[in-house]
Amino acid sequence: MGKGEYLKIKLLLKFFIIFFLAAAKVDAKESLRYNLAASESWYPYYIPDEKEPGILGELIPLILKKADIHGIELRFPPKRTIYAMENGLLDFDVVSPVWFAGGDAGEQFIFSKSLIGIEEFYASLAGINLGPMVYKEEVGTILGYYYFDDNTFTRIDFASEKELVMALQKRRVDRVLIGDLPAKYWADKLNVSIRLDQLHTRGELKIRLNKSKAHLLPVINKAITELQQTGKIEKIVSKYTVKQS
C-alpha cells in the first residue's frame, strides 16, 4: 500500500469516526413530546400562527432550547390531549394545578416552576341580570378542559373559547367559564359585550411533566428561572397582553 493510499484510508476512517460520534451525540440528546394547543382559540396563550404563536408558543421553545432539550410538538384537541398524557403519548403539557381537585393532576405527573399567572371567570352577557349560581346549573365549558368542581354544575361543552362567546351571544347558555384574556379577545373580535361576573380560579400555568422524564425537571426549572431573571418572560407576556389591558 502506497503512502498516498494509506493517508486516504486514514482520512476516511477519521471522517467516519467523527460522523458516528456526531450521530451518537444527536441520538443522545433528550427529547420531549408536548402539546400546547388546548383549543385553537386559546388566545393569547396559543395562536395557530408561525410568526406570532402566542405566549406559550414562544415561551416553551425558548425553555427547551435553554435546557438543551429537543422539543417535538404534537397538536391534539383537548380531549385527545388528556388521553395522550395519561397513556404516555405526550411527555408534557401546560396547565394550572388549580384546575384539578386538590391541585392533584395525577400521581404520574410532576409540576415545573410557575410560568405565568392565569385567571378564569364565570361570564355572562353584559346587561343581562342573572341570579346567584344554583346547584347543577348549566354552564358553558370547553370539551376536554379540566374543572375541579364540575360535579357542582352541568357542563355544556363547546369546542373553543370563541364558541363559548358565540354561545352567550346566541343565548344558548347564560353563563360560561372562560379565561379573562380569551374572553376579552373574543368579545372584541365578535363585537359581543360580556361581563366577568365571578372569579372561578386564580393560579399559575406550569409544565406538567410525566414522571418518566423527572430527571429533566431541574434543567427545565433552571431555564425558567433564567428567563424570568432576564425579563424575557415578562416581555413575551406584554407583547400579547398590553393591547387587551
Phi and psi angles of residue 54, each rounded to the nearest 5 degrees, phi first: 95, 175
81, 90 in Cβ contact below 8 A?
Answer: yes
Residues of the chain with CATH 3.40.190.10: 30-118+203-244, 119-202
Q: Residue 45: is its pLDDT beyond 90?
A: yes
pLDDT score of 242: 78
The DSSP code sequence of 51-117 is SS--HHHHHHHHHHHHTT-EEEE----HHHHHHHHHTTS-SEEEE-GGGSGGG---TTEEEEEEEEE
**What integer best gives the mean pLDDT of the chain?**
89
pLDDT score of 199: 97
Cis peptide before 44 (omega within 30 of 0): yes
What is the reported pTM? 0.85
10 Å CB burial of residue 241 (0-12, 13-18, 19+) is middle
- Assign domain 119-202 to a CATH class: alpha beta
Fold of 30-118+203-244: D-Maltodextrin-Binding Protein; domain 2 (3.40.190)
Q: Which long-range contacts (CB under 8 A, 24 or more apart) does 126-131 make?
A: 126/193, 126/194, 126/195, 127/193, 128/174, 130/174, 130/175, 130/197
Q: Which one, of 203, 190, 157, lies nearest residue 176 by Cα? A: 157
Write the pLDDT tens digit of every residue in 93-140.
999 999 999 999 999 999 999 999 999 999 999 999 998 899 999 999
Distance CA 21, CA 27 (A): 10
Write the pLDDT tens digit of every residue in 128-169.
999 889 999 999 999 999 999 999 999 999 999 999 999 999
pLDDT score of 125: 97
